[in-house]
Amino acid sequence: MGKTTLDAFQCDRCGHAWLPRLKIDEEPTICPKCKSAYWNKPRRIDLAKGELEQAREAMHRKKRDKN
């Protein structure tokens, strides 16, 4: 039995992964589950949360280094 790899798309908004039925060379316009047109772009609030967590970790490291 041979192995094959399939290219799938995954929505950054809802996490749904799918295989396209047609035109594998073109990106889909929307996510088939949540219907978001921004399926391939992470939410801004998620990006902001990540930056906030990094800043908090840096502050904690700075405090530990002083003590």
Round the average pLDDT of the chain to a whole number and report it: 85
Q: What is the pLDDT of residues 43-59, one digit of tens each?
A: 887 777 777 788 888 88
Regarding predicted confidence, which is higher, 16 or 64?
16
Q: Within 10 Å of residue 15's Cβ, how many Cβ atoms?
A: 10
pLDDT of residue 9: 93
DSSP state of 14: T
pLDDT of residue 67 exceeding 70, the answer is no
Alpha carbons 64 and 15: distance in angstroms, whole number: 37
Regarding predicted confidence, which is higher, 53 or 33?
33
Residues facing residue 65 across a β-bridge: none
